[in-house]
Structure 1
C-alpha cells in the first residue's frame, strides 16, 4: 500500500467518525446483525430464562385453577365379613310392629292371634356385606381469602421480571458479540497496517540489495532489513493467532460455521452517538417486577388466616348397596377459618417483605452503577475522538519523517536504522488510530447499553 493512498483512506475514515451519525440499526454491518440474531437464538441462558418465564405462566394458571370446580368420579367394591343388621331385640320389635299394623289394617282385634297365612316382610339389613359404589364429587372454592388472587398477581409479576431479565441477557450477549466482532475488525485493520509495512520493507530490501551490488552498502544493512522482516513476521503471526482465537469465540457465541466466520471482512465503522434520552434498563425493570412479586407473595402468606368458603357436592349413581343411613346425594357450603397457625403465616409474610427490601437495595445499587457507567462511557467516547485526532497528527508527522529519512538514506545521509525506526513510528501511529476507532465503537456500544437503548 502506498503512503498517499493510505493517507487518503485514513482521512476518509476519520471524517466518517467525526461526521453526524445515523441510528444504530442503520449503522451496524449486516453480517454483524446476522451474527447477533444467531447468537440470540443459540444462547442457552436466554432459552433457560424463557423456560422459567413459561413456568411462571403455569404458576398463574395453577392459581387461577383454584377457582374452578373439581369433579371427581369414584368407584369402589367392598366385601364385609357379614351383613350389618339390627340386634335381635330391635328386629323382634320391628316384626311385632309390622304385625300390629297388618292386624289394624285387616280389622283383626288387637288381642287376637296373628293369622299364619299372612306373610311378613323381613327386616332389611343396615348394610349388605357386598358393597359396590359409584359416585361423583364436586369441590368448588368460592372464596380463597384473597390467597389465590395474590398468588396470581405474584406469578404475573414474576413472569414480567423474568422477561425483562431475558431482555437484559440479550443486551449483554449483543454487547459481547459486537465487541468480539470489533476486535476481529481491529485485527483486520492491523493486518492492513502490517501489509503496508511489509511493502515498505520490500522496497528497502530492493534498495539495499542494489546498493550492495554497487558497493554502496554493506551486508549489515541487509541483516538489519532481514531482522525487521522477521520482527514483522512475528507481529503478523501474533495477529493471525488473535484472529483464530476471535473466530473461535464468535463461533461459540453464535454457532456460525467457522468457514463463514473466516470469510468475514469487518471494518471499524463509526456508530451513532448523538444525544440520546436515557431509558430504564431492563435489569432495573426486572428487579422492580421481582419486588412487586414479593409484595404480593407477602400478602398471599398473610391472607392464609382469612376464612375460605367452598361448595361440596356428592351424588351416588347406585342405590342398591347404600346403607340405610347413606344419602343418595347431598350439597353444602362450608367455611374454613384458621384462627392460629403457630405464627407461620406472619413469619412467611415477614420473610417475603425482607426479600422485597433486598430487591429495593439492588435497584438503588444498580441505578448508581448505571449512572456511573453512562458518565464513564461518555468520557471514553470523548477520549477516543481526541485519540483519533492525535493519532492522525502522529501519522502525518510519521509519514513526513519516514519520507524525509528514506530520501536521506538514499542519498547516504541517514542510516538504515533510522529508516527502520521511522517505519516503526509510522506503523505504531497507524495502530493507535485503529485502536482509537475500536475504542470509539466500544464506548458508543457501552453508552447505548448503559442508557437502555440497544433494544434487541
Structure 2
C-alpha cells in the first residue's frame, strides 16, 4: 500500500475537524440569515400576534373617537288616529277671549253682541295627525371623566406588550431554524468523515487482495474489511435519511422549496461570539411589564367611571310646519352625567383588573429568576462546550497517531487486520465526536445569547 496515500486520507479526516475548529463565525451564514427571514415571514403565530397588536392599536383609536362629535340625521313620518286638540272648554274659553279682544280693538262694549260678519280664527291643533319630521342631532363628549384617557393608555401598553411578545416569538423561531440548519451541517460533516473512511477501506481492500494473491494474508481478512464497509454503508444510509428529514423540517419552518434546501451546503463552524458582559432585558420581561401597566390603566379606567362626564347636546328641525305647538325648532345645551352608584360593578371590575396586574408582576418576577438561572446555566454550558471541543480535538490527534502506528505494525505482520479496523473505527468515532462537539458549542453559544437577550442582533 502507498504510505503517502494513507497519510493523505488520515490528514483529510483530521483537517475536517481542524478547519472547523479554527474557523470563527462572528456572523451567521448569509444562507441561514435568509432562511430565518423567510421563516419569520411564514410564521402563523407571528401573523396572529401582529393582528392582535393591530387590534390593540385600533382600540386606542376607538377610545380617542369618544371626543369626536357625533352627528346624526333623522327622518320619520307618523300618522296619528286623530289630530291632537285642546278640550272643548278650553277652546270655548279661547274663542271667547278672541271675541273680547276684537270688540276692544273696534271700540265695542264688551257686553255687546259680537257681529256675525267678523270672522274668527280657528283654534290650531296641538299636533296634526300627519307628522313628517327631518332633523339633525349633535352629541359631543367634552370630558369623559378620564375614562377615555385611561382606556387609551391601557390599549397602548397592550400593543407594546404584544409587540414584545412578537419579538420573543421571532427569537424562538430563529433558534429552531438555526438548530435545524446546524443539524444539517452536522450531517454533511459526518458524511465527509464517512467518505474519508470509505476511501481508506477501499484502499485497504486493494492492499489485502494483493496480499492474499501473494500469500501474505488470508481471505478472512478481506471478509472483515467487507463487513466494515457494510457497517459504514449503514451509517451513510442513516445520515442520508437524517438529511431528508432535516430538509423537510427546514421546509416546514421557512417555506423554502425543498429543491433549494437540498442545494445548501452548510458548514459547522466554531462560533466565537463576543457578547456584552451586561445582560439585555429579555423581550418576555418587557412584554410582562407592559401587560402589567395595561392592567393598571384598565383598573384606573374602571375607577374613573364615577367621575362626572360632560357632554354637549344639539338638535335642529328642518321641517317646521309639522312641529307641535310645544316642540322647539332647535336647541343646544351642555349636560353633566354623574353616576354615583352602579351596584358595585365598577369597583369590582377595577379590583379584578388590579389583581390581573399583580398576576403579571408575579409572572415577571418568576421569569426574571428563571432567566437569571438560565444565564448562569448557558454560560457554564458554553464554557464546557469549548473545553469539550478541545478534548475532542486531542482525541482525534491520539486516534490518528494510534492508527498510523497500528497500520505500520500490520504491514510488518506485527498486528492483525482486526487491530487495524478497530483503530480506524476509533478514529472515525473521534471525528464524529468532534463534529458533535462543534454542534454542541454552537447550541451553547446561541442559547447563551438568547438567555442574555442578545440573540436578535445576532441573526438580524
Unaligned runs of 5+ residues in structure 1 are: none
Does structure 1 residue 117 correspond to structure 2 residue 117?
A: yes
Match of 1:171 in 2: 171
Match of 2:321 in 1: 320
Match of 2:205 in 1: 205
Note if contact 2:17-2:435 (Cα within 8 Å) is conserved in structure 1: no
Note if contact 1:28-1:271 (Cα within 8 Å) is conserved in structure 2: no
Q: Output the CA distance in 2 between the equivalents of 1:399 and 1:224.
A: 21
Secondary structure at 1:2 match in 2: helix
Match of 1:254 in 2: 254
Normalised by the length of structure 2, the TM-score is 0.95
Q: For 1:254-293, what aligned pairs fall within 5 Å after superposition?
A: 254-276=254-276, 277-293=278-294
Note if contact 2:275-2:454 (Cα within 8 Å) is conserved in structure 1: no
Match of 1:60 in 2: 60
Q: Deviations 1:191-246 (Å, cap 9, x if unpaired)?
A: 00111110111111111211222222222212111111111111111111111111
Q: Deviations 1:72-128 (Å, cap 9, x if unpaired)?
A: 110000001111111111111111111111111111221222112211111100000
Note if contact 2:275-2:449 (Cα within 8 Å) is conserved in structure 1: no
Secondary structure at 1:181 match in 2: helix
Divergent runs of 4+, >6 A: none
Q: Deviations 1:263-282 (Å, cap 9, x if unpaired)?
A: 00000123333241211011
Match of 1:12 in 2: 19
Instruction: Report deviation, 1:255.
Output: 0.2
Q: Output the CA distance in 2 between the equivalents of 1:447 and 1:13.
A: 21
Match of 1:338 in 2: 339
Secondary structure at 2:187 match in 1: helix
Match of 1:368 in 2: 369
Distance 1:8 1:188, change over 3 A: closer
Q: Output the CA distance in 2 between the equivalents of 1:8 and 1:148.
A: 68
Q: Deviations 1:284-332 (Å, cap 9, x if unpaired)?
A: 0000000000000011111111211111111111111111111111111
Q: For 1:224-235, what aligned pairs fall within 5 Å after superposition?
A: 224-235=224-235
Match of 2:10 in 1: 3
Secondary structure at 1:318 match in 2: coil
Note if contact 1:128-1:321 (Cα within 8 Å) is conserved in structure 2: yes
Q: For 1:24-35, what aligned pairs fall within 5 Å after superposition?
A: 27-35=27-35
Match of 1:139 in 2: 139
Match of 2:4 in 1: none
Q: For 1:292-311, what aligned pairs fall within 5 Å after superposition?
A: 292-311=293-312
Q: Output the CA distance in 2 between the equivalents of 1:162 and 1:202.
A: 60
Q: Output the CA distance in 2 between the equivalents of 1:172 and 1:449.
A: 9
Instruction: Report deviation, 1:358.
Output: 0.8
Does structure 1 residue 214 correspond to structure 2 residue 214?
A: yes
Instruction: Report deviation, 1:172.
Output: 0.7
Match of 1:97 in 2: 97
Note if contact 2:14-2:431 (Cα within 8 Å) is conserved in structure 1: no
Q: Deviations 1:320-354 (Å, cap 9, x if unpaired)?
A: 11111111111111111111111111111111111
Match of 2:5 in 1: none
Note if contact 2:21-2:270 (Cα within 8 Å) is conserved in structure 1: no
Instruction: Report deviation, 1:9.
Output: 4.6
Note if contact 2:191-2:239 (Cα within 8 Å) is conserved in structure 1: yes
Match of 1:347 in 2: 348
Instruction: Report deviation, 1:372.
Output: 1.3
Q: Output the CA distance in 1 between the equivalents of 2:393 and 2:225.
A: 27
Q: Output the CA distance in 2 between the equivalents of 1:218 and 1:270.
A: 45
Equivalent residue pairs, number:
449
Q: Output the CA distance in 2 between the equivalents of 1:144 and 1:41.
A: 41
